[in-house]
Amino acid sequence: MPQRFYSESKAKPRGDWRYATFRTKLGWMAAVWHSQAVAGLSFVQDDAVAAARWANQFLTERDVHGDIAKEAEIPWRLAERMREFAKGEPTSFGEIPLDVTHLAPFGRKVAAECCALAWGETASYAEIAGRVGSPAAARAVGNCMRTNRLPLLIPCHRVVGAGGSLGGYSAPTGLSMKCRLLAAEGVGLPAMAGS
């Protein structure tokens, strides 16, 4: 398990929760974090208000109350990294701690394999399943990607279907966004574009 994964406890993390909204070429984004790690990320929001609404909903669903504040600056230079990514600049999020306490052990393994994919590299759902020791679990890998709370940080867009098909993508604009993200990384999409 990568050191950057905060997963020691199923209990709610202690410490202050924060959220921020910021704009990139991909649209408005919102990030939610606590004192140990980033817990959620959403992108392709219409505007700052929609991004803030997503962040508040994320916190409410996790029954987070108390000292929650909106801050202009996200720790670990997250907003800057997201903007670089949106411009198509090779970007690594490897130093950003991620809260994966919501994931079962299988999901944590899948997330780790997904994070191991480099800029511009793809793998199929079946390949990821094989890498985590469950070669028949391609559909379960797809489900992990579908429910990813940390898109781009856990780069589920790099996981594609067998034979070059795109598979799915749960961002608001779906497969068109997956195509944009892969194209930004220089991944050729001729066979995928019609998927």
Active-site residues: which are they?
Answer: 156
Residues 148, 115 contacting (CB under 8 angstroms): no
CA distance 52 to 58: 10
Strand partners, 29: 22
Q: Determine the distance from the C-alpha atom of residue 92 to the mean position of all C-alpha atoms in its chain, rounded to a whole number.
A: 13
Length in residues, the chain: 195
Long-range CB pairs of 178-183, under 8 A, 24+ apart, other chains included:
180/26, 181/152, 181/157, 182/122, 182/157, 182/158
**Exposure letters 119-151 (e unless 16+ CB within 10 A, then b):** eeebbbbbbbbbbbeeeebbebbbebbeebbbb
